[in-house]
Chains A and B, each alone.
Chain A
C-alpha cells in the first residue's frame, strides 16, 4: 500500500539563475549558474550526485533532445541522466523524478535541473510547439494566450461576472505580482505596474492584454535532494522536506466530453485534493502559508485559486480584489513575482517556484521574506485548459 512521499525526502540545496533576456548566455551557462548555487548550498561535490533528471520543453530552440546536454554542461560522473518533457510542467517532473529516486532508495543524492533558452527564436512570445503529424491537421490555429483566455469567457458565463469586473480582477493579479517581483533581483521584470496600465494595454487574446501575459525569458533552476537522515549527517539542521508531489493529466474528458464547462482546470482540482491528502492538509485556506502557482496568464491564476480549494468556486475574483493573495494577504501568492515577472523558461519554471518556497521556508528571501511560513505549495501547469498536465507540490519545514 502506497504511503505517499511526505517527509521521506529533504531538499539539500537549490539554485536559480537570474531570469531574463540572457543574450550573453546559452542553456549551458544557465545550467551551470543554477547548479553551482545549488551545489554550494547543498555542501556536496559533483561526485556525490548519483542520478539526475533534466527538464526542457522546446528542444528545437533549446539544447535538442536527450540527457547529454546536462551531463556535458555539468561534467557529471557518467551517472544516469533522464530527460523529461511534460509541457510547461516539465520542471516539476524533473523534481518528481529525483525525489522518487531518493524515496525509492535507488540513490542517496539526486539532482533535478530545468533550463530553457527561449530568446533565440528571433521573435517575442513562445515558439510554436511541434504537435506531431495528426494534430496540426485539425487543431484550432491557436496560441497559449488564446487558449487560456477562453477560461475568462466560460467563467463569466458560468458565474455571471461582468467583463469589466473580471478584467479588473485579473488586472489585480498582475499588479500584485509585479509589486512582488520588484523586490526580487533574480526576476526578469522588476518594475511595479498599475491597474490602469493593465486595463489599457494592447490586446493579445481577448480579454487578455499584454500585462495579463507572463514574459518570455531564459533561465535555469535546480534542486539537490536526499533523505532527511543523510541531510542531517551532512550537517543540515533546518530541514525542508517534501510533503506532497502530485500530477494529474487530462485524459480527453475536457476536450471531448460535454461534462466540462471550460471555466476551471479539471486536473488541478484532482491534483490538489490528492496533494492535500498526501500532505495531511485538511483546510488548505488556513494551513497553506504561501503559494507559487502557474500564472502563465492572469486568468489562469484567478481560476487556480478556486481549483486549489483556497477560494470558493465563483468567488476567487472577489478574494483577488480583496487582496487575499497579496504579499500582505492571508495566503500570499507569487511572492517572488511569479511567471509574470520571471517569465517562463518552460523547463525551469516548476523548479523556480520550488526555489522561492524553499528560500521563504528557510527565511532567506530578503526584502520579500514572509513572517514564519510553514507550508508552501507550488502549482505547475502545462498544456491548455482543455488538455493539460497539472503538478501540485507541497514542501515545508520538517515536522510541519
Chain B
C-alpha cells in the first residue's frame, strides 16, 4: 500500500493584521473593512516560494546529516505559481538546499492553484509505477497582490511538504480523481505580476459549485467510499460557507470540513491544499478518512486513510507549530516594502551591482545552496567552507576534508551587531559570527530577529533564504542565514 510517510509545513513568522492593512487603505477602498478580520501570513523580504518549500521539506525530513539522512529521496516535485524562475529548474534549487542526491528526477509543477495536489498525484503515479520509491512533494507560494486589493487581505504565504512511500505510511492513498476544465476564474499572464479575476458570483456558482462536487463524487465513486465516512474534508475555498454546502451535496458531514486557515494564514494558493492536509494529518486518528480537493482549471481530489502508525508519528513543527510562533505585524508599509509594492528610497549604498558569476555558483554549489563545508579526516575539525588545506592550526593537512553539512547544525552567536549603515530593507541588518557545536563557524546574516533580542550565546538554527536580488537581471541569490532557535 502506498501512502504518506512524512509531512512538514512552514508558515513565515510575521502575521499581517488585516485590520492594519484595511485601515491604511480605508480612504481609497472602504469596502475592505468588511474583510478586515484576523491575520495573514507575511513572508519576510528574504523569503519566497522556494525558501518556504525548503523549510517545509526540512520539517518533513528532519536530519542530523542531510547528506546521509535524505539520501533515499529519489523524486522531487515542487509546486508553486510564484516560483522565482521561469526557466531554471526551481526544484533543483530545493534539491540542493535539502542536500538531496543528484540521481533524482525533479519537476516544477506550476500554473494552477491545484498544482500542489497535481504534484501529489504525480508523486503517487511514480510510486505506484515503481519508477520512484521515495518521492518528496514540496509546495511554496508567495503571490503578489496589488495594494488595496481584496487578494492582499485574503492571500497568505506558506510552504508544505509530504514524503511518500510504500511502507511505514501514516496515511494510505486510496485513490484520486481529476477533472481538467478551462474555467478561468482568474489568470496571471506569464510576464505579469498580478492576477486578473472575473466576477466572484460567476466563479462561485458556475465554477466552484459545479466543478468541485463533480470531482469529489467521481473520487468517491471510484474508490467505493461513502461521503458519510469522510472524517476530514479539505477544500481551499475563498467563499465563506461554500465548502460546507459542497460537502453536504456530496454526502459529507459539513461538520467534517477542515478550517481553511483563512483567519490565521490566508490562502497560500498552490500550497494551500497540502498545507491543510498537513494540518489534518496532525489531528487525524488511525482509520480516519481524509479527502482533499483543490479547484483550478478543474479540480484534483485525493482520498487517504490514516494508519495506526499515525498515532506514534514523531512530532513536527508542521502547521500548528508554525501557527504558534507567529508574530503580529501591524506595519502595513513594511508589508508593501517586503513585497516590492512601494518604491523606497534605498540610498546609493543599495546601488551595488549584484551580478552573479554562474560558473562560481556552480563550482561552489553544495557550499552555497546546501551549506556544505568540510570535515578533516585527520584531525576531525569541521569547517566552512571546505578547502584544500585544513584550517586547524595543528593540522593543515591537504585534501583531507569530507563534505560536511552544517544546514541542520545547532549554532550559537559568538559576536554580533545590529547595523544601520549597511543597506537592508529590514534595518538594522543583524549579523554575527555563528559557531557550530560540532566545530566550524561562519559570519552570517541573522534574520527573523528583533532589535534587542539578541546577545552572545543565543542559540540559532540555519535557514535557506534569499541573499540578494539582482534586479537588473532578474536573478536571485540564495544562501543560509541564522535565525533564533525555537524555544524548547
- State the A residues within 8 Å of B (CB): 121-123, 125, 128, 133-134, 136-143, 145-147, 149-154, 156-157, 202-206, 208, 251-253, 255-259, 261-263, 385-386
Q: Which of B360, B385, B422 has the most CB of A within 10 A?
A: B422
Residue of A nearest to B359 (CB): A133
Residues of B416-442 at the interface with A, using a CB-CB cut-off of 8 Å, are 416-424, 428-429, 431-433, 435, 439-442
Q: Output the least CB separation between A133 and chain B (Å).
A: 4
- For the complex, is B7 an interface residue (Cβ under 8 Å from A)? no
- For the complex, is B414 an interface residue (Cβ under 8 Å from A)? yes
Pair B422/A146 contact, Cβ less than 8 Å? yes
- State the B residues within 8 Å of A (CB): 347-349, 352, 354, 356-357, 360-361, 364, 367-368, 381, 383-385, 387, 391-393, 414-424, 428-429, 431-433, 435, 439-445, 455-457, 467-468, 477, 479
Can you list 28 contacts pairing A with B, beta carbon distance less than 8 Å? Answer: A121-B348, A125-B421, A133-B357, A133-B360, A136-B468, A137-B360, A141-B422, A141-B423, A141-B424, A146-B418, A146-B419, A152-B417, A154-B456, A203-B418, A204-B421, A206-B418, A252-B391, A253-B391, A253-B393, A255-B433, A256-B383, A256-B384, A256-B385, A256-B440, A257-B391, A258-B435, A258-B440, A259-B393
A154 to B456 alpha-carbon distance, docked (Å):
7
Given A128-B349, A142-B417, A203-B418, 6 more A-B residue pairs with CB atoms under 8 Å apart are A138-B479, A140-B431, A153-B455, A205-B417, A206-B419, A258-B435
Shortest Cβ-Cβ A-B pairs, 8 listed: A146-B419, A150-B415, A149-B417, A157-B456, A262-B415, A140-B431, A154-B415, A143-B422
Contacts A142-B443, A150-B433, A262-B433; A134 near B360 (Cβ below 8 A) = yes
Pair B347/A123 contact, Cβ less than 8 Å? yes
- Chain A residues within 8 Å of B428, by CB: 203, 205-206
Partner of A137, one of B364, B442, B443: B364
Pair B420/A258 contact, Cβ less than 8 Å? no
Residue of B nearest to A125 (CB): B421
- Chain B residues within 8 Å of A385, by CB: 415
Pair B354/A156 contact, Cβ less than 8 Å? no
Q: Output the least CB separation between B479 and chain A (Å).
A: 5
- Chain A residues within 8 Å of B441, by CB: 255-258
- Chain B residues within 8 Å of A386, by CB: 433, 443
Q: Output the least CB separation between A218 and chain B (Å).
A: 18
- Chain A residues within 8 Å of B415, by CB: 150-151, 153-154, 262-263, 385
- Chain A residues within 8 Å of B445, by CB: 140-141
- Chain A residues within 8 Å of B439, by CB: 258
- Chain B residues within 8 Å of A256, by CB: 383-385, 391, 440-442
Q: Output the least CB separation between B483 and chain A (Å).
A: 14
Pair A137/B467 contact, Cβ less than 8 Å? yes
A282 to B236 alpha-carbon distance, docked (Å):
77
Q: Output the least CB separation between B270 and chain A (Å).
A: 29
Contacts A133-B357, A386-B433; A146 near B417 (Cβ below 8 A) = yes
- Chain B residues within 8 Å of A202, by CB: 420
Pair A143/B419 contact, Cβ less than 8 Å? yes
Pair B352/A153 contact, Cβ less than 8 Å? no
Pair A139/B443 contact, Cβ less than 8 Å? yes
Pair B456/A153 contact, Cβ less than 8 Å? yes
- Chain B residues within 8 Å of A152, by CB: 417
Pair A145/B421 contact, Cβ less than 8 Å? yes
- Chain B residues within 8 Å of A154, by CB: 414-415, 433, 456
Partner of A255, one of B368, B416, B429, B442: B442
Contacts A128-B352, A258-B435, A259-B393; A145 near B443 (Cβ below 8 A) = no
Q: Output the least CB separation between A97 and chain B (Å).
A: 28
Partner of B368, one of A137, A146, A151, A206: A137
Partner of B349, one of A123, A147, A150, A206: A123
